[in-house]
Amino acid sequence: MAAAGAHGPLHGFRVLDLSRVLAGPWASQLLADYGATVIKIERPGSGDDTRHWGPPWLADREQRPTGESAYFLSTNRNKQSLTVNLAHRKGQEIIRKLAATCDVLIENFRVGRLQRFGLDFASLNAIDPRLIYCSITAYGQTGSRADKPGYDAMMQAAAGLMSITGPPDSEGGGPQKVGVAISDIMCGMYATTAILAALAARDGQAGGQGNGKGQHIDIALYDSQVAWLANQNMNYLIGGMQPQRQGSAHPNLVPYQMFATANGHLMLAVGNEPQFKACVTALGCPNLVTDRRYMSNASRVGNRQSLVEILAGKFLKQDTDYWLDVLTDCGVPVGPINNIDDIFSEAYAQERQLVRQLQHPLAGEVPTVANPVRFSATPVQYRSAPPMLGQHTAEILSRELQYTPDQIAALSRDGAI
């Protein structure tokens, strides 16, 4: 158990977050969960694009919609919101002053945009050589596509994911997008690990001395999406075959897919020979273990259709709960196909505290989905709800940069904040 009041592992680190939408904010939320102080820079008057991506909207204490979107709330906890006009000279000065106090800066502007404001890596590195500057773009800082914009959906399409997602054409299928913005989320995860690695290089790791220097991290949504196609990439590079859409089936394992039961569906995930033997024995067809067509995973992949037809007929003879109980007792990986209501209604959600409550100035409380990481000594932090637009502007300017109330009022009148 972590000691009461223990700090997160990144306590003391400071992050200046100039990103918006999802990939960058996902990375900065993770860093904030791990204890870093994150200052989120937003456009005056409008803020992060996702503040407007509703409904649904958070309801206040009287159950009236607040204008705080569920989308924004999903990825901005533990942050402070400071509104700054980056196109204003005095706004740029604020960013430079804050960058000099921070360990990390995250941005996802079009290539060259921040250079026009004197807020690019080279400019800020000259002010603070220890700053780690992470740029997230559609196609990276170099190459023929560097100036092109991009969102998650087009990355799922262009970088290969949709070509392997969905039922095969023979079942009336077509390319499908994953139900969440997974390209953005995975890019944010890559960004987080890269930032942590850069901090280790700067500050030292494994008992060694760091080099004391920051660096520029260039991460592209497209490159990230290609990278995490994982075994499908290697199936192509090694096997020379174009990966196809196979619905819920696995390209390298059989049986590993969804099956219909007498009253619904389940997901079977057989990963080795003992599991296959246990599975077919439980289904009442143990002879399949010694059938030459199915004696190894390689042979099962080669005879996928005939095996799946046999198993499909067996599964239809009993309901889902029956097969879940029988196969689980045999040590066969199998699970229900839950919807999101099922997930949060199960006792497991309470056992693992998958939902936490955070204090919110309008709603009283707002739910948040727990970070899945469990540290034994440096716990994940749940300090504050996603901020309202500009909620911390005056506080940060006065506390961090020693602006007076009159100066802050003047900045507001000038349109700098």
Q: Write the CATH number for 177.
A: 3.40.50.10540
Domain that holds residue 102: 14-228+349-414
Domain-ending residue, one of 342, 360, 390: 342
Same domain, 137 and 52: yes
Cα 281 to Cα 41, 203, 270, 295, distances in angstroms: 59, 56, 13, 14
**330/328 Cα distance (integer angstroms):** 5
Same domain, 18 and 142: yes
Long-range contacts of 171-180 (CB under 8 A, 24+ apart): 171/247, 173/245, 173/247, 175/245, 176/245, 177/153
Residue 238: inside a domain: no
The alpha helices in 64-203, defined as continuous H runs, are 70-73, 89-99, 113-116, 121-127, 152-158, 182-203
As to burial, measured by CB atoms within 10 angstroms (0-12 exposed, 13-18 middle, 19+ buried), residue 299 is: middle
Q: Which residues are catalytic?
A: 184
**136/347 Cα distance (integer angstroms):** 38
Domain-ending residue, one of 311, 342, 373: 342
What integer is the mean pLDDT of 266-289? 96
Q: What CATH number is attached to the domain comprising 332?
A: 3.30.1540.10
Same domain, 280 and 355: no
The H or E element containing residue 347 is helix 347-351
pLDDT at 1: 44
Query: What confidence tier does 274 reach under pLDDT thresholds 50, 70, 90?
Result: very high
Same domain, 27 and 111: yes
What are the φ/ψ torsions at residue 328 (nearest 5 degrees)?
-65, -40
- State yes or no: pLDDT of 5 exceeds 70: no
Query: What confidence tier does 4 reach under pLDDT thresholds 50, 70, 90?
Result: low
173, 167 contact by CB (below 8 A): yes
Same domain, 154 and 279: no
**305/68 Cα distance (integer angstroms):** 49
DSSP letter for 104, please: E
- State yes or no: pLDDT of 45 exceeds 50: yes
pLDDT at 211: 87
Domain-ending residue, one of 342, 369, 399: 342
pLDDT at 39: 98
Query: What confidence tier does 175 reach under pLDDT thresholds 50, 70, 90?
Result: very high
Residue 107: inside a domain: yes
What integer is the mean pLDDT of 335-341? 95
Same domain, 187 and 220: yes
pLDDT digits (tens, 9 = 90+) for 141-165: 999 999 999 999 999 999 999 999 9
Query: What confidence tier does 173 reach under pLDDT thresholds 50, 70, 90?
Result: confident
How much of the chain exceeds pLDDT 90, in percent? 95
Quote the number of domains for the chain. 2
Same domain, 185 and 152: yes
Query: What confidence tier does 47 reach under pLDDT thresholds 50, 70, 90?
Result: very high
Neighbours of 103 (CB within 10 A): 23
What integer is the mean pLDDT of 306-310? 97
Residue 8: inside a domain: no
- State yes or no: pLDDT of 101 exceeds 50: yes
Token pair listed for 298: 């390689």
What integer is the mean pLDDT of 251-270? 96
Same domain, 398 and 323: no
Same domain, 337 and 354: no
Query: What confidence tier does 3 reach under pLDDT thresholds 50, 70, 90?
Result: low
Same domain, 282 and 378: no
- State yes or no: pLDDT of 172 exceeds 90: no
pLDDT digits (tens, 9 = 90+) for 196-207: 999 999 998 766
Concatenated DSSP letters of 293-342:
TTSSHHHHHHTHHHHHHHHHHHHTTS-HHHHHHHHHHTT--EEE---HHH
What integer is the mean pLDDT of 261-285? 96
Same domain, 97 and 162: yes
Residue 242: inside a domain: no
Residue 247: inside a domain: no
pTM: predicted TM-score of the whole model, two decimal places: 0.93
Neighbours of 139 (CB within 10 A): 20
Same domain, 153 and 43: yes
Long-range contacts of 231-237 (CB under 8 A, 24+ apart): 232/160, 232/164
DSSP letter for 288, please: G
Token pair listed for 50: 């996702």
What integer is the mean pLDDT of 285-297? 96
Query: What confidence tier does 191 reach under pLDDT thresholds 50, 70, 90?
Result: very high
Residue 382: inside a domain: yes
* Average pLDDT of the chain to the nearest whole number: 95
